[in-house]
């Protein structure tokens, strides 16, 4: 499930297409997108400050989404104070258009807003300047300009970019930095310059979280080609479908408070189910028109979809958006639409079956829990190999890394201390991460100890069929009686690991019982006692018990996957890098190549 980048909030982008949107317009578009999707929403911090901050109602809506962890703000600066200070430098030549950074009262209001930041690794200004300079030098904009504005001189566009970037210094890459190079009649040329800048700016932010944009926003069609999917994130269709379900949905002023109340529930199970039904329905309609060869292109398909949505809405009574169970009623309404269409249209019925199969394999969120510096180092190296851009994400209870999308998953990692208990142990860390991130699945991963070098090798991977908590015991004079829980791992994650075992020919995978407790096992006698407690155990670790306990308390599917770094005696760190590398290669390959159902 791709994150959705809110490109329409970009003031410079709107300027490039001469599109003026009021605060009401921006709130309406944001509300429809937020209600119709359960994807993570995100945008640059500059978009929040420059488009949302001036409108109190819009800023309040953005803060609601942000407070519910449904919206992320992105910047390379770790604090608002540093960000604002940087704006006073790069916009010093254009201060009248950016008063929020230069007026003391507005600066203070921004600083008190409480917006936190997802840090990205690349500086926007440097990245844009480098990209545009490289493309201008290589004439890479020739095709784009000739296709979209053939009456504009490509040579002149390249010359303006080359000259402007040479003297850019500390200025931001906006049209104002190039305006002095415009000829006497600059309108057509200036619009081309603005659009090229906005396209590169949008592409830059799409790369941050491997995001997508919403299509079909009136007046923004020029940028629709940047979108990856249709019809899932099409504003025109989403708005029409919501209006077909809810009474007076398009009369935003009358229902704004009710919509705001619903947005407070964004991300809930009922909201996710409603979005799931909406996406299936729209997908089935598009497949229907493509399979039926009625609409060979998406623009034509959009018009056909609108016709069908209008027809279906006229056959049934709409529901009130003010009802407490609005999402539940909307789910019923969408299923009625689908059943009605399936009964009357065999092409739609076939499309719906295809859509159901497709949407049972959607992207979802997964959390990796690590416990050592070495594990973090290796996961960082693995990110570099996979061309991922891990960025810190600040939750209300902790700080995490987000890796963006890997395969069908949105991947996060949380770092605990070694062991399960304590203030920063794996149980507390996992509980906090679940509350902050709402992951669908959790993997406790890193390094552990193996059972026997006769049956295993250093660097082999252990996968938990179940985890045995060994700390709870009755210690008698003659024998030790285990009293700890033995808990079975998630069947879905076990199936996923089994598929990964078949696909992975590099490293040997052992599936079975993993022992977990607080002790750093480095003694042959104690290790033998553990094997007596659980004769079929394949190895052990210190963090699995805590992760499992947290997942049970929050009813989350889990699995433990650890690389063998030693044998629980005569410990050394020589094999730790191999064990960690093999483990994370296995997990990352798993996420890239194996799909699992939505929760």
Structure confidence by residue, pLDDT tens digits, 393-428: 777 788 898 887 787 788 899 999 888 788 888 999
The mean predicted confidence, pLDDT, of the chain is 83
258's tokens: 């009710």
* 93 touches 172 (CB < 8 A): no
> Which pLDDT band holds residue 147 (cuts at 50, 70, 90)?
low
Q: What is the pLDDT of residue 482?
A: 56
> Which pLDDT band holds residue 557 (cuts at 50, 70, 90)?
very high
HSE, side-chain direction, 13 A CA sphere, residue 95: 10
For residues 576 and 448, what is the distance between their CA atoms, to the nearest angstrom?
9
- Each domain of the chain, given as residue ranges in start order, spans 4-226, 235-359, 365-593
DSSP string, 414-456: EE--SSSSSTTSHHHHHHHHHHHH--SEEEEEEEEEES-TTT-
**Cα 76 from chain centre:** 18
Structure confidence by residue, pLDDT tens digits, 182-227: 776 566 678 888 888 899 999 999 888 878 899 989 999 889 888 8
Angle at 358 between CA 357 and CA 363, to 5 degrees: 125
Q: What is the pLDDT of residue 598?
A: 41
Q: What is the pLDDT of residue 85?
A: 87
DSSP string, 117-165: -EE-SS-HHHHHHHHHHHHHHTTTTHHHHHHH-TTS-HHHHHHHHHHHH
Structure confidence by residue, pLDDT tens digits, 49-103: 888 877 888 888 888 888 778 888 888 888 888 888 888 888 887 788 788 888 8
- More confident site: 198 or 292: 198
Task: For domain 365-593, say whether CATH 3.30.1330.20 is its number.
Answer: no
For residues 485 and 430, what is the distance between their CA atoms, to the nearest angstrom?
19
- More confident site: 136 or 480: 136
The DSSP output letter for 246 is: B
Three-state secondary structure string covering 515-562: EECCCCCCCHHHHHHHHHHCCCEEEEECCHHHHHHHHHHCCCCEEEEE
Tell me the β-bridge partners of 539: 450, 514
């Amino acid at each position: 499930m791709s994150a959705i980048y809110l490109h329409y909030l970009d003031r410079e982008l709107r300027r490039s297409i001469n599109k003026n949107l009021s605060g009401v317009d921006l709130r309406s578009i944001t509300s429809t997108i937020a209600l119709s999707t359960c994807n993570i929403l995100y945008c640059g911090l500059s978009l929040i400050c420059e488009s949302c901050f001036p409108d109190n109602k819009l800023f309040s809506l953005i803060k609601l989404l942000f407070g519910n962890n449904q919206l992320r703000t992105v910047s390379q600066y770790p604090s608002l104070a540093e960000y604002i200070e940087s704006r006073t430098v790069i916009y010093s030549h254009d201060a009248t258009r950016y008063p929020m950074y230069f007026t003391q009262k507005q600066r203070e209001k921004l600083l008190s807003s409480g917006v936190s930041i997802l840090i990205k690794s690349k500086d926007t200004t440097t990245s844009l300047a480098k990209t545009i300079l490289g493309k201008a030098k290589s004439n890479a904009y020739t095709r784009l300009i000739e296709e979209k504005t053939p009456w504009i001189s490509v040579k002149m566009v390249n010359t303006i970019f080359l000259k402007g970037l040479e003297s850019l210094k500390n200025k931001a890459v906006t049209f104002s930095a190039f305006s002095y190079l415009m000829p006497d009649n600059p309108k057509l040329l200036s619009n081309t310059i603005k659009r090229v800048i906005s396209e590169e700016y949008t592409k830059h932010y799409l790369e941050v979280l491997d995001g997508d944009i919403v299509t079909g926003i009136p007046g923004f069609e020029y940028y629709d080609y940047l979108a990856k999917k249709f019809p899932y994130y099409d504003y025109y269709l989403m708005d029409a479908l919501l209006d077909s379900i809810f009474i007076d949905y398009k009369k935003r002023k009358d229902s704004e408070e009710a919509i705001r109340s619903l947005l407070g529930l964004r991300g809930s199970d009922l909201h996710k189910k409603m979005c799931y039904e909406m996406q299936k329905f729209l997908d089935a309609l598009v497949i229907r028109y493509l399979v039926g060869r009625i609409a060979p292109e998406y623009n034509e398909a959009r018009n056909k979809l609108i016709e069908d949505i209008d027809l279906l809405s006229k056959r049934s009574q709409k529901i009130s958006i003010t009802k407490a169970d609005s999402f539940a009623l909307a789910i019923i309404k969408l299923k009625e639409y689908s059943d009605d269409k399936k009964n009357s249209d065999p092409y739609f019925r076939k499309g719906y079956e295809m859509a159901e199969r497709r949407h049972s394999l959607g992207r979802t969120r997964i959390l990796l829990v690590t416990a050592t510096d070495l594990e973090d180092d290796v996961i960082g190296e693995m990110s570099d190999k996979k061309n991922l851009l891990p960025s810190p994400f600040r939750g209300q209870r902790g700080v995490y890394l987000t890796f963006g999308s890997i395969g069908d998953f949105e991947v996060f990692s949380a770092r605990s201390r070694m062991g399960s208990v304590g203030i920063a142990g794996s149980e507390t860390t996992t509980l906090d991460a679940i509350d902050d991130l709402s992951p669908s699945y959790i993997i406790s991963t890193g390094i552990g100890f193996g059972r026997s070098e006769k049956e295993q090798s250093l660097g082999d991977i252990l996968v938990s069929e179940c985890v045995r908590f060994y700390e709870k015991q009755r210690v008698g004079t003659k024998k030790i009686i285990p009293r700890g829980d033995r808990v079975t791992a998630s069947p879905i994650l076990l199936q996923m690991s089994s598929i990964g075992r078949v696909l992975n020919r590099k490293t040997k995978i052992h599936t079975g019982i993993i022992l977990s407790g607080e002790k750093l096992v480095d003694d042959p006698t104690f290790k033998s006692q553990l094997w007596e407690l659980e004769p079929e155990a394949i190895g052990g670790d210190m963090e699995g018990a805590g992760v499992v306990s947290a997942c049970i308390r929050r009813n989350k599917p889990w699995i433990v996957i650890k690389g063998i770094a030693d044998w629980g005696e005569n410990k050394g760190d020589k094999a730790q890098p191999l064990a960690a590398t093999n483990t994370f290669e296995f997990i990352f390959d798993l996420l890239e190549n194996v799909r699992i159902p939505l929760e």
